[in-house]
Structure 1
Amino acid sequence: MSFWELLRIEFMKVKRSKIIPLIFVAPLLVVSSGVANLSRYFTPEYTNAWPAMFIQSALVYSYYLLPFSMIVVCVMIAGRETGNNGILKMLALPVSRYALCMAKFCVLAFYLFMEMVVFLVVFVIAGTVATGTMGVTETLPVFYLVKWCVGLFLTMLPCAGTMWAVTVLFEKPLLSVGLNLLLVIPGVLVSNTPVWIAYPYCYSGYLVSCSLHDFTVGDNIRTFSLFPFMPVAVLVFVLALMIAVIQFGKKEMR
């Protein structure tokens, strides 16, 4: 069985799940509240309305709501195999458990991407309504919004990989959800320490915090640097996936 066929089967498994409605919840909540709260201060002469609305919405979203939703998606994807001994049935087929694990992570990454698309679309709609209502004539900065949404997606990948590794290591949903939640909650505190670079749960939030600093200071100095962040993030991502791949189905194969 080829990897692409295996990937197609994995998408079929989650087709009737509640993942699609789930990825709408966090963007709708954070965008509607963030834009509504900030738009009350808009005047027709207001400048940089779009960046202000984006940072207001993305700050809480990147630190908490986006990771929380991905934790639930991890459990829902893994639950397709843990329920009714489905993992044993899958491993009985001529399919590599390593490929099966990677296919499941690809499904997780796809839903992460879809949630970022939903966030962008919802934000553009809410922002357009807010600026139109308050008489702000600022042009929609498409490149700015897409750039930061892509940044959120990429910085969230190491976190998603780590969450998936935790979900694989701790098969009980309560344990995996509880541990991942405990690791997400201190993210905003860790991001203010030098060890943030090795803590994937705060990567996306740190990115938005840096954009907030750049926005408020207003200079050309960017606080978010790709080096040494990128090598460390790639290393964390690869190590997390290696742990997940090695441990996936290992107990059932004994």
Structure 2
Amino acid sequence: MRFSELLKIERMKYRRSKIIPLIFIAPILVVSSGIANLSAYFTPEYTNAWPTMFIQSALLYAYYLLPFSMIVVCVMIASQETNHNGLFKMMSLPVSRQTLSLAKFCILIFYLFMEIFVFLAVFVIAGYIAVSTFDITEALPISYLLKWCVGLFLTMLPSLAVMWMLTVLFEKTLFSVGLNLLLVIPGLLAGASPVWFLYPYCYSGYLVSLSLHAFTTEGTADTALQLFPFIPCALLIFLSALFISASRFGKQTDLLK
């Protein structure tokens, strides 16, 4: 079976799931709170009101709401195989456990992309409504919003790989969810430490924090992310977690053969 066919099967399995409504919740909550406080941003002190509002809204989203929603998506995807002996049925197909795990992780990446796209779309739509309703003259910086959403997506990939690895390693949902939540919670503290690059759960939040720091200290939207040692550590964590999850995925089927 070709990998593209396997991806199509996986995508069809979750078409009618509750994942799609789930990925709307966090973006709508974050953007709604930002729009509700428009008057605090459009004052003479703010020269970049829209970017400032976006960054402050994205801070909570990147550190907590986005990881929390991805943890739930991981569990929902994994539980699809444990219910009704789904994993055993999939193992009857001419496909390896490693390939199946990789296909599921690709579906996870797709839902991560979808949620961040929803975050961007909701912010832009709410922004245009606010501009027409409150007679705001400052235009929405679409390219700026798009750049930071791409950054959120890329920096979230290593932690997503670790989340999937823990979901595979711990068959009990309570263990995998609990451990992932415990790792997400100290993300803000980890992002403030000099060794933040060793803690993948803080990557997205750290990226947003850099921009927020630039606004509050220099009044500019430009900030630089130190690519070393971030890129080597992030790549190593991503590949290691992906390898472990692929190696351990579906091991319970071997025990019952």
**What's the counterpart of residue 115 of structure 2?**
115
Q: Which amino acid aligns with 1:199?
A: Y
| Alpha-carbon distance, 1:26 to partner | 0.4
In structure 1, the residue matched to 2:235 is 234
SS in 1 for 2:94: coil
RMSD: 1.7
Q: Which letter does structure 2 place at the counterpart of 1:248?
A: F
Pairwise CA distance, 1:210:
0.4
Give matches, 1:1-254, under 5 Å. 1-43=1-43, 46-218=46-218, 222-254=223-255
Give the number of aligned pairs. Answer: 254
Match of 1:232, SS state, is helix
Per-residue deviation at 1:44? 7.8
In structure 2, do the counterparts of structure 1 residues 45 and 207 end up closer, same or farther at CA, with 3 Å as the change threshold? closer
Contact persistence 2:41–2:49 (CA under 8 A): no
Cα separation, partners in 2 of 1:44 and 1:190, compared to 1, 3 Å: closer
Distance change in 2, residues 1:219/1:34 (3 Å): closer
1:53-98 per-residue CA deviation (whole Å, 9 max, x = no partner) reads 1012100000000000000100111111011222122112221111
Offset of 1:252 from its aligned partner?
1.6
Specify every segment of 5 or more residues in structure 1 that has no aligned partner in the other structure, as ranges: none
**How far apart are residue 130 of structure 1 and its match?**
3.0
Equivalent pair of 2:197/2:230 in contact (CA under 8 Å) = yes
Decide whether the 8 Å contact of 2:41 with 2:53 is kept in 1.
Answer: no
Give the Å deviation of 1:41.
Answer: 4.5
- How far, CA to CA, are the matches of 1:38 and 1:224 in structure 2? 29
Q: Mind listing any 5+ residue stretches in structure 2 that lack a counterpart?
A: none
Q: Shift of the alpha carbon at 1:182? A: 0.6
How much identity, in percent, do the aligned residues show? 68
Are the equivalent residues in 2 in contact too, given 1:187–1:202 (CA < 8 A)? yes
Given that 1:44 and 1:137 are in contact with CA atoms closer than 8 Å, whether structure 2 keeps it comes out as no
Is the deviation greater in 244-253 or in 97-106?
A: 244-253
Distance change (3 Å), C-alpha of 1:133 and 1:40:
farther
Deviation at 1:38, TM superposition (A): 4.1
TM-score normalised by length of structure 1: 0.95
Task: Give the partner amino acid of 2:66.
Answer: L
TM-score, length-normalised on structure 2?
A: 0.94
Aligned to 1:210, the other structure's residue is in SS state helix
Contact 2:183–2:201 under 8 Å retained in 1: yes
CA distance in 2: counterparts of 1:184 and 1:110, whole angstroms: 21
Shift of 1:139: 2.0
Helix, strand or coil: the match of 1:194? coil
2:127 maps to amino acid: G
